[in-house]
Amino acid sequence: MKRDFKFWWNCSRAFALPVTVMSWLVVFIFAIDGNIFNGILALFGVCFAHLATNIFDDYNDYKILSKDEKYLKSAQICKCKLITDGVISHKGMLAAGIVCCLIAAVIGALLAYLAGAGVILVAGIAAVFVLFYSKFTLIGLGEFAVGMTYGPLLFEGVYYVMTGHFSKEVLILSFAVVMFVIAFLYAHTVLDYDGDLCSHKKTLACSFKNKNDALKALIAFYIAGYLFIALFAFTSHNFVVLASYITIPLVYLLYKSMKVYNSDKKFVPEVFWWNYPLGNWEHITEEGTQSFYLRLYLARNINTYFTLIICLALVLEKIF
């Protein structure tokens, strides 16, 4: 495969970036009266940190899975696909992750210079979760790491570089949004249940006796997100954000679809508008992973729709 933009997009699993961008957009709009340049610069830093996390995750997964051929065979067909197909070497994957980390670090240093020392605290804690995310997943703290990174750290960090201080209201808003981010991650771990068991990952999903029990916990994250956005609505008096509840039917559809997947991984459901955009679909079809990615894309889109509605509600509050 040619080392072009498309190659690195696939290598870093950048299809999940909308999750990061939409989370950032929520707090960016909330702090829009602040320093816009700093806020946009923070987006690039967060995105590169996200890509680094994805790359290091595949790097460490392969390091474990490659110890035994049966591990690789039991994992999802798309698991570490670029490495197993020889498209990129194991060391090449590590190098790509380091490059992404360095770019994120440079942006973080610039923001610390522009906005203040608070950036160092937030970025320092976030760096621990980025560099050791795979380690956290091995001890059942993967969801906690994502919750901290995409919740309080991302929201308070962006808010700080734009306004120069932190906010309790932003903290509540971060918990509402991050529950949907965690749900997206958790949906991925449920889909990866068998492979993670083989690679000895102690994910939250793997702590359940079977995949169907693990799937039930997915609903808990969504419920928590809806409860936190209700709390934000009452504390901020912006009740328009409750329009985000219209995503509930999609959560139900995701649950049903993933329940089918648990019993038949090869069944490919019908594609509807809520599955789009289908990034890199031609390649996915060639490798036969449509069933996996259709569910994952729906989980991603639920998060996108939820946060987009919140963004619109915040914009309306600014205007009126």
Lowest mean pLDDT of 82-86, 106-110, 198-202, name the range.
82-86
Q: Which residue has the tokens 């419920």?
A: 223
| pLDDT at res. 67 | 57
What's the pTM?
A: 0.83
| Burial label, 73 (beta-carbon count in 10 A; 0-12, 13-18, 19+) | exposed
Span 222-251, mean pLDDT?
97
Is residue 137 within 8 A of residue 155, CB to CB? The reply is no
| pLDDT at res. 29 | 97
* Residue 141: pLDDT over 90: no
* Residue 102: pLDDT over 70: yes
| pLDDT at res. 269 | 87
Lowest mean pLDDT of 85-99, 128-142, 282-296, name the range.
85-99
| pLDDT at res. 10 | 59
Give the residue with greater pLDDT, 139 vs 113: 113
d(CA 110, CA 161): 11
* Residue 39: pLDDT over 60: yes
Tokens coding 132 = 């050791």
How confident is the model over 249-295, as pLDDT tens digits?
A: 999 999 999 999 999 988 998 889 988 888 778 878 888 889 999 99
How confident is the model over 165-181, as pLDDT tens digits?
A: 999 999 999 999 999 99
* Residue 14: pLDDT over 90: no
| pLDDT at res. 9 | 59
Give the residue with greater pLDDT, 27 vs 137: 27
| pLDDT at res. 86 | 56
| pLDDT at res. 78 | 45
| pLDDT at res. 2 | 47
Position 3 confidence tier, pLDDT thresholds 50, 70, 90: low
- Residue-range definition of the domain harbouring residue 207: 5-319
Is residue 57 within 8 A of residue 134, CB to CB? The reply is yes
The domain tally of the chain equals 1
Direct distance between the N- and C-terminal alpha carbons of the chain, in angstroms, rounded to an integer: 51
The candidate with the shortest Cα–Cα distance to 256, out of 210, 303, 208, 218, is 218
